[in-house]
Amino acid sequence: MRPLFAALIALCLSPLPASADDPMRGFGVHTCSEYFDLYNKNKDMADTVFGSWAMGFMSATNVSLMSQQKRYHDLGGMPLEDQMTKVRDYCTAHPKDDFWQAVIELYNSLPVKPM
């Protein structure tokens, strides 16, 4: 098994710090500083794991808005590398914030598509 893949599996299977009354789950509940802890060890893994979570979160948000026939955001409106740069910029400025807050900031910056 490739070392990166094995580490990714181990990271994904590790327990996440979320309280029972917290509706948010997954990598989004980690703080920006926790994201940077992984990023400083392995940039590719951090961006793969957290970036995948971010894309899933934003896609689910779009599906919810589309099902209500509301305007949604164009997830392809900015290159993926630029999206992660925007997330890192937010996290640099707000290290104590949860990662999902950086993703919301990114999502709101993407172009809006009419329904």
Amino acid at 47: D
Residue with the two structure tokens 């919301």: 104
Of 13-22, 33-42, 49-58, the range with the lowest mean pLDDT is: 13-22
Residue count of the chain, please give it.
115
3-state SS class at 83 = helix
Rounded (10°) CA dihedral 56, 87, 72, 74: -90
pLDDT band at 69 (very low <50, low <70, confident <90, very high): confident
**pTM, two decimal places:** 0.78
Task: Please give the domain boundaries of the chain with CATH numbers for all domains.
Answer: 29-113 (1.10.890)
